[in-house]
Structure formats: structure tokens, C-alpha cells
């Protein structure tokens, strides 16, 4: 019986593999198709434990027995390209597939996911197969029928579980889940995301799942009809909130965590008929009795309403009872509120590095680092280039950019940070299609893109002319160290045009 179920599961997985291999994205990339086929077939054969970087190099890429993985990164680079190609496929052509192939970072054995739940693919054991073959024909048919029923039942259970987790279609008068294009996001089991005041889950642009409101007590759920919210691609996170005096008691495994609290003032403001502004939303927040925020005014901290505001706290953990106790209390004439909670594995001494790529989906770089989709920005526009960046082993990182006059308000706890800015020099006819063709494209001419970058009001990059300094289609990386957050806990990076526009492809913030 187990062998019949396993065989049926592998048949479905083989069918998905063939559909992927015949797709437009993979048909034009035989090298990646060959690698994906090899990895899946090894898994189907029950040889996943034998899939190593060395064996892939020899059997897929034709390397010799003397292959040295420290000096030859072919496998890591191609595996990362494959991860990105699969993510691209399931964000587009395969977006409606219930069964998906993913390759987690740090390993080479594929995982098949059914509606977001990982399925085990185990080849039937020889003795099980032989035993099944010895059954009389009638019994084999009965076993097959029972096996199919069990498989259908399992699929229905998984589907039901997923509907409970993701939320089924809601009635018109109820809040519905809005999901960004699916991109596999491999997260630790210890990561927790909660949408305060919401009864639906939500998958954000970085592929992270936010759960409905849970572990809460007190206060009142609220929902705003505001459509646009600054500094986020995911306004859904900030349209719901819990307001009043309330608490969250969240069970956690022992350890050290990073806590991120999400706020956005969408009710009060000078332009609102109900009035209100600074002083209308003041609160105190504690964790296990320790103050996190005292006299915190959401609108004053944002500087304006309808803006995503994130506060980051390190060295957070469960209390002696294994629960993180968060308390939100109204102060003065204000009313406490909260839009979302993130709890991530962290460090006692510093926050997790922040990596942002200027595009609407996340990205895995060739060194297997995860970059979140564009966030914390205000102003500017996104664009992509058809020309590959030169002189880099990761040209895909520079495919897109944010350009114009814009800023990023990146939340950080107190400390010193290095900011790494990634740019690419573009020919003006590529960077600005509407630029007049005057033929004067040298540095310093009216058609050159020259700009400054400020951090919390101080110049960190002055009069940068990318085409002159980097060269056409070549990346330029600038690292600025010793930066500290402003009183609102932000590294406010402003990209200000001097001539035409400013631009950036990716940003890293790394604690020193």
C-alpha cells in the first residue's frame, strides 16, 4: 500500500518536472534543464543523500576527478541560477500550479511543495514492490483502489489545512487575502509573522507568509480603507490594526530573537474630517515587563500619516514560562495601535543584515544570500534593463534599479552600520529613453545622470556620475561605514538628482 502511494506521488512529481522542462523559460536554457532533471531523477531514485557538489560537478558539468570546489564555483553558481529560474517560472508561467519544485538554499536536493506544504518523495522499497507484485491480480486492484482513495484523502486534508492557513474565499463583506506573486521564501521554523486585527493571512512581495491575528487579548480590531501607504509594496499589512489597550502572549522556543513591530497611522491626520494628528496616537510598549517604547507617537515618528513605520529590537526572547509577553497601553490622550509583528531568529549583540534589491520580488544572489523585494522606499520608479551588467559574476543583481528622486528609511536599532550601495553605469539612451539625442553624453554634460546621496542629512556620496566612474554597463559598489540611526531609529538614505535623475540597484545595511 505505501508503495502504491509513493509511486503515485512520484508520477505526479515527474509530470510536474516535464511540464517545467518544456516551458519557455527552461526550453531556452538546456544547461539549467539538464541540472534540474539530474537533481530530480536522483531524488526519485532515492539517492538524494548522494547528491553532492562534487558529484554534480563531475556528472552534470563534466569536471574531472581533480575538481576543487574551493577554486571552481560552477555548481554553486548554476544551482543559484536554477533557484532563480524556478522562482521566475512559478511567479509567471507556472503561477497556477498547485505542485511546485523548489531547491532550498544550502542544499541541492529538490523539494516538491503541494499548495505551500513540502511533500516527501520517497522511492518505493524493493521488498515492498516485490511483495506487491506477488499479490493476486484481484488483490492488487483492490490495493490500488484503496491506495488511490487514501491519496485523494491525503490531498483533501492538505488542501483543507492550506485553506485554513491561507484563508478561503471570503464573502463580499469580509476582508480577503491578497497574495503577491509566489516566490519561494525559505524561512526558519522560528520565524513568526502576525497581522494585527486581521482574520486573513497574506503573502507579501518577498514571499513571506503573515498569519491572521493570534495570541492577542484586549483591544479592538480595526480596518482602514486607505489605499496607498508610503514606504511599502505591501499596504495590506498596514490596513488592519489592533487598537486600544491590548496584549500579545506568543509562545517561543528558547533562544534569542529579533522583534519588528509594524505601525502606520491611517486614521488620524490633519486632512481627516475626524481631525487628529501628533498626540492622537501615543503609547507605551513592553516586552516581558521591559520597556521597548515609552511615549511613542506613531504619527510623529513617521513624520506624516499613511506611512509604514517599523521599529526593530534585538536580544528579545521568551520569559521564564516560554512566552513572549508584549503589552501595548495607551498614553496621555492617545490610543495604542499595532499593524504587525515579526519575530525572527536573532543575535544578542546586533541586528540581522538588511539586503534590499530594487525590484518587486526577492532575489538570491550568486553567493546564496537572500535579498528582500524593494521596501522602505518613497518616490522614484522601478525599471529593468535588457543589457547585462559586465565585469561581475552576478549580473542579475543589476538588472533593475529605482530611479528618480527618492529615499529609503531603513529601520535599525542603536549602533553603527555600514551601508553598501550597488549601482550600474548605463548609457543615457538605455537609462533614459526620452533623453534628447544631442550627442553630448560625456560626464558633466546636460544629459549625464549626476546625483548625491545623503544619510540622515549628511552627504555620503557627492556628485556621482556613474557612466564616468563605472563605465557603461559596469557595476559600481560604494561602502560607507560608521553610520548611526537618527532619533527615529532610521537610516534615512536620500538620493537627490543634481543633473537628471538618481539611481540605485541594491542596498545592504550591515551592523559593524
Does the pLDDT at position 191 exceed 60?
yes
% residues pLDDT > 70 (the chain): 78
Angle in degrees, 0-180, between the axes of helices 2-21 and 137-166, rounded to the nearest 10: 60
Domain ranges of the chain: 2-119, 192-345, 354-511
Distances (CA, A) of 104 to 14, 48, 193, 243, 364: 19, 13, 20, 38, 11
Q: What tens digit of pLDDT does each residue of 344-369 get?
A: 999 988 999 999 999 988 888 877 78
pLDDT band at 130 (very low <50, low <70, confident <90, very high): very low
pTM over 0.85, yes/no = no
Mean pLDDT for the chain overall: 82
pLDDT value of position 427 = 65
Q: Give the model's confidence band at 183: pLDDT under 50 very low, under 70 low, under 90 confident, else very high.
A: very low
Predicted pLDDT of residue 340: 98
Q: Are 412 and 485 in contact (CB under 8 A)?
A: yes
Q: Cell numbers 510598549 correspond to what residue?
A: 285
Cell digits for 467?
557612466
How far does Cα 404 stand from its chain's mean position? 24
Greater confidence (80 vs 450) lies with 450
- Mean pLDDT of all residues in 430-452: 56
User: Looking at residues 89-113, what average pLDDT do you find?
Assistant: 88
For the domain made up of 192-345, give the CATH fold. Jelly Rolls (2.60.120)
Residue 385: predicted pLDDT: 84
Decide if 418 contacts 481 (C-beta within 8 A): yes
For residue 486, pLDDT over 90 is answered with: yes
With a CB cutoff of 8 Å and minimum separation 6, the contacts of 300 are: 278, 279
pLDDT in tens, 41-79: 998 888 988 899 899 999 998 888 888 876 677 888 788
Give the tens place of pLDDT for each residue, 318-332.
999 999 999 999 997
- Return the pLDDT at 147: 54
pLDDT tens digits for 8-47? 788 889 999 999 999 988 887 888 999 999 999 998 888 9
235-288 tens-digit pLDDT? 999 999 999 999 999 999 999 999 999 999 998 865 665 566 788 889 999 999
pLDDT of 435 strictly over 70: no
Section 450-461 average pLDDT: 98
Predicted pLDDT at 273:
57
Does 160 or 267 have the greater pLDDT score? 267
User: 438 CB contacts (<8 Å, ≥6 apart)?
Assistant: 445, 446, 447
Torsion of CA 115, 120, 121, 127, to 10 degrees: -140
> Can you identify the CATH homologous superfamily of domain 354-511?
Galactose-binding lectin (2.60.120.430)
Amino acid at each position: 500500500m505505501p508503495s502504491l502511494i509513493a509511486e503515485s506521488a512520484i508520477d505526479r512529481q515527474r509530470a510536474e518536472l516535464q511540464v517545467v522542462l518544456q516551458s519557455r523559460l527552461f526550453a531556452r536554457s538546456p544547461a539549467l534543464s539538464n541540472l534540474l532533471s539530474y537533481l530530480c531523477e536522483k531524488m526519485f531514485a532515492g539517492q538524494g543523500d548522494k547528491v553532492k557538489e562534487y558529484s554534480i560537478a563531475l556528472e552534470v558539468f563534466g569536471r574531472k576527478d581533480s575538481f576543487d570546489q574551493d577554486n571552481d564555483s560552477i555548481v554553486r553558481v548554476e544551482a543559484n541560477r536554477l533557484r532563480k529560474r524556478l522562482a521566475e517560472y512559478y511567479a509567471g508561467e507556472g503561477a497556477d500550479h498547485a505542485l511546485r519544485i523548489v531547491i532550498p538554499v544550502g542544499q541541492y536536493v529538490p523539494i516538491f511543495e503541494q499548495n505551500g506544504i513540502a511533500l516527501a518523495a520517497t522511492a518505493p522499497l524493493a521488498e515492498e514492490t516485490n511483495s506487491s507484485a506477488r499479490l493476486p491480480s484481484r488483490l492488487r486492484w483492490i490495493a490500488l483502489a484503496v491506495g488511490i482513495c487514501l491519496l485523494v484523502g491525503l490531498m483533501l486534508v492538505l488542501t483543507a489545512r492550506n485553506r485554513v492557513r491561507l484563508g478561503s474565499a471570503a464573502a463580499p463583506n469580509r476582508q480577503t487575502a491578497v497574495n503577491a506573486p509566489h516566490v519561494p521564501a525559505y524561512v526558519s521554523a522560528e520565524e513568526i509573522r502576525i497581522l494585527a486585527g486581521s482574520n486573513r493571512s497574506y503573502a507579501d512581495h518577498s514571499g513571506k507568509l503573515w498569519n491572521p491575528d493570534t495570541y492577542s487579548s484586549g483591544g479592538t480590531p480595526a480596518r482602514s480603507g486607505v489605499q496607498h501607504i508610503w514606504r511599502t509594496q505591501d499596504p495590506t499589512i498596514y490596513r488592519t490594526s489592533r487598537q486600544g489597550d491590548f496584549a500579545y502572549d506568543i509562545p517561543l522556543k528558547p533562544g534569542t530573537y529579533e522583534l519588528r513591530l509594524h505601525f502606520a497611522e491611517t486614521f488620524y491626520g490633519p486632512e481627516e474630517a475626524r481631525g487628529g494628528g501628533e498626540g492622537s496616537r501615543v503609547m507605551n510598549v513592553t516586552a516581558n515587563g521591559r520597556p521597548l517604547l515609552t511615549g511613542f507617537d506613531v504619527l510623529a515618528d513617521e513624520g506624516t500619516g499613511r506611512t509604514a513605520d517599523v521599529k526593530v529590537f534585538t536580544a528579545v526572547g521568551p520569559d521564564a514560562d516560554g512566552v513572549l509577553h508584549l503589552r501595548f497601553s495607551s498614553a496621555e490622550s492617545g490610543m495604542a495601535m499595532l499593524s504587525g509583528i515579526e519575530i525572527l531568529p536573532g543575535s544578542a549583540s546586533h541586528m540581522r543584515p538588511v539586503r534590499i534589491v530594487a525590484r518587486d520580488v526577492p532575489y538570491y544572489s550568486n553567493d546564496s544570500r537572500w535579498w528582500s523585494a524593494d521596501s522602505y522606499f518613497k518616490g522614484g520608479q522601478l525599471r529593468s534593463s535588457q543589457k547585462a551588467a559586465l565585469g561581475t559574476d552576478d549580473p542579475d543583481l543589476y538588472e533593475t534599479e529605482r530611479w528618480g528622486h527618492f529615499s529609503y528609511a531603513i529601520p535599525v536599532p542603536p549602533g553603527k552600520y555600514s551601508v553598501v550601495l550597488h549601482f550600474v553605469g548605463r548609457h543615457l539612451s538605455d537609462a533614459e529613453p526620452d533623453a534628447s539625442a544631442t550627442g553630448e553624453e560625456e560626464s558633466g554634460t546636460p544629459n549625464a545622470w549626476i546625483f548625491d546621496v545623503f544619510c540622515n542629512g549628511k552627504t555620503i556620496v557627492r556628485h556621482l556620475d556613474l557612466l564616468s566612474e563605472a563605465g557603461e554597463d559596469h557595476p559600481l559598489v560604494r561602502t560607507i561605514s560608521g553610520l548611526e540611526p537618527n532619533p527615529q531609529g532610521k537610516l534615512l538614505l536620500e538620493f537627490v538628482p543634481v543633473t537628471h535623475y538618481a539611481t540605485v540597484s541594491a542596498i545592504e545595511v550591515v551592523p559593524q
